[in-house]
Chain A
Amino acid sequence: MQTLVRITGDRLIMRPKVIFLADMESFYASVETSCNPSLRGKPVAVCGDPALRHGIILAASREAKAFGIKTGQPAWEARRLCPWVIFVHPRMQTYIDYSLHLTRIFEQFTDRVLPYSVDEQFLDLTGLENILGSPQKLAADINRRVWKETGIRCRIGMGENPLQAKMACDCFAKKCPNAFFELNGANYACRTWNLPVSSLFGVGHRMESNFHRIGVRTIGHLAGLPREMLRRRWGINGEVLWLNAHGIDYSTVEPASIHEQKGVGHTATLPRDYRKQEEIELVLLEMSEEVCRRARRQGKIGTTVHLFCRGADFDSPTGFSRQKKLPEATALVMDIYPTVLDLFRKHWDRKPLRAVGISLTGLTAYRQLQLKFSRHCEQEENLTRAVDQVRKRFGKASIFRASSLTSGAQFFQRAKMIGGHDS
């Protein structure tokens, strides 16, 4: 995608956009090393608590990776590969604080910064070449600033659109000694078309298998297929992947898009396999409450409830994922919970569960709520508002349902967590 930059006489001069994707190397492990310099140069792995079944590697330092330790491995396997690996518990709030600090650093270069995840951020630097220097110099300046202020190594992929920047970063910059790589309209095909199709942004395991079934092994094979055929077979997703294979992307780096949210969800891996119906239903109640609280905090109400349950048996995966539309938009737990229960009782196969998740989608602003003046509803809204205020002032665990004191409840454990790990 190109941008209009200048009108000279009657001629329009078009120049390509300059989009960066800045990705932090081994982010969680780098933050831990930055906070505790005695870890520098040692094999460090950030790992959840195995007792709570979160014992997988979330991030490994460069030194740990040299032993073959990878993200997603179980802790025991990492220990087997490197017996002297140092395990560190995740501290999610610290990582979020570092990520925000990175956003502030990037905002010193451009106001068009879009955080994509906790360790990846897009920057639109179009038109800044004359002020800040060439993109290569800019990337070096950004890297230097990030290293100086946070002690984290940053890799930068550059492109004429966010997709090219992402591909440049994921497929090349991470392996480059100078941690910078540029893809553009001219070199995209020759650089990426021989890569396996799974390297293409948007292609997951399932899509990769689908492509393998029709003989598509590389990005180039995908690019060679007719766009219409992909659209017929996989709808818009197929068409977007075809565009991605050609390096075409119409996305823009708009900071405002951070705030657009379609749904609020909450998923939890349970500390043990849950077998009893009443215990699972209690966790579902607590999670419904959390989802509603978060929707209310954003001033939103939702119209569709989605329930997801994953069975405990890894070898023969069970579970379900179902959704149901509510009679009217709401963010009150007692409006949502009956629907959650209804879905659960209808679809649960009585087998032990390992993980559950609830989400509320179809969000609209609370002020658009249809008028509903029953006394009961008004009372419940007042109560909910009071509980929200108490929690905001005194903490999440300051007020709770008595049922959260019974066995199987997860409320107190989860109150201390962010993203399923210690905050």
Chain B
Amino acid sequence: MSKKFSQQFSCSKMMLPEHRGSLQQHADQNRWEQEYRRPILDEQEQEQLQQILEQALLKKQSIKIIVLNESGRQTIYGIPLRINPGTGTILLSTGCVRPLAVKAADVIHLEKTDPG
């Protein structure tokens, strides 16, 4: 189907470049806020994440962790080696020489990547 059928209003939009620029900036700002917005985890979800982590630690299973910190969202894959309640960190083996320390407070999502 021609674009004219599905986008007749996009084709005929009358917008000054300065207006378009402002909207672009606004959309970027929205995207940025969404990227940095921390999801609210209820008690049940927190418990679930804790269970996944402890199980993976016990069975040496690979997990996927999404962390949110000042650099934005990052996805990390690795096998948990240790949980350090004193420093509030999770040590992960990611295949590098040194294990990676992840702040538990930054974790917003956690899931098993190994079946079972």
Q: Do A and B bind each other?
A: yes
Q: Is A162 an interface residue (CB 8 A)?
A: yes
Interface class of chain B by DSSP: helix
Within residues 185 to 203 of chain A, which ones have a CB less than 8 A from any CB in chain B? 202
Q: Which one of B7, B15, B17, B24 lies within 8 Å of A117 (CB-CB)?
A: B15
Q: For A165, give the chain B residue with the smallest CB separation.
A: B9
Contact digits for B1-24, partner A, Cβ 8 Å, 1 yes 0 no: 110111111101111111111111
Within residues 99 to 143 of chain A, which ones have a CB less than 8 A from any CB in chain B? 99-100, 103-104, 107, 114-118, 122
| Cβ contact within 8 Å between B18 and A96 | yes
The complex places the Cα of A93 from the Cα of B21 at a distance, in Å, of 12
Q: Is A207 an interface residue (CB 8 A)?
A: no
The complex places the Cα of A118 from the Cα of B14 at a distance, in Å, of 8
Q: How far is the CB of B12 from chain A (nearest CB, A)?
A: 8
Interface class of chain A by DSSP: helix
Q: How far is the CB of B78 from chain A (nearest CB, A)?
A: 33
Q: Is B38 an interface residue (CB 8 A)?
A: no
The complex places the Cα of A96 from the Cα of B21 at a distance, in Å, of 10
| Cβ contact within 8 Å between B23 and A115 | yes
Known: A118-B19, A251-B10. A259 touches B4 (CB 8 A): no
Q: Which one of B7, B20, B23 lies within 8 Å of A251 (CB-CB)?
A: B7
Q: For B6, give the chain A residue with the smallest CB separation.
A: A250
Q: Is B27 an interface residue (CB 8 A)?
A: yes
Report, as a range, how many residues of chain A touch the other chain.
35 or more
Q: Is A210 an interface residue (CB 8 A)?
A: no
| Cβ contact within 8 Å between B9 and A100 | no
Contact digits for A244-268, partner B, Cβ 8 Å, 1 yes 0 no: 1000011110010111110010000
Within residues 254 to 286 of chain A, which ones have a CB less than 8 A from any CB in chain B? 255, 257-261, 264
| Cβ contact within 8 Å between A258 and B24 | yes
List chain A residues, Cβ under 8 A from B24: 258-259
| Cβ contact within 8 Å between A418 and B22 | no
Q: Which residues of A contact B (CB under 8 A)?
A: 92-93, 96-97, 99-100, 103-104, 107, 114-118, 122, 162-163, 166, 202, 236-237, 239-240, 243-244, 249-252, 255, 257-261, 264, 294, 297, 418-419, 423
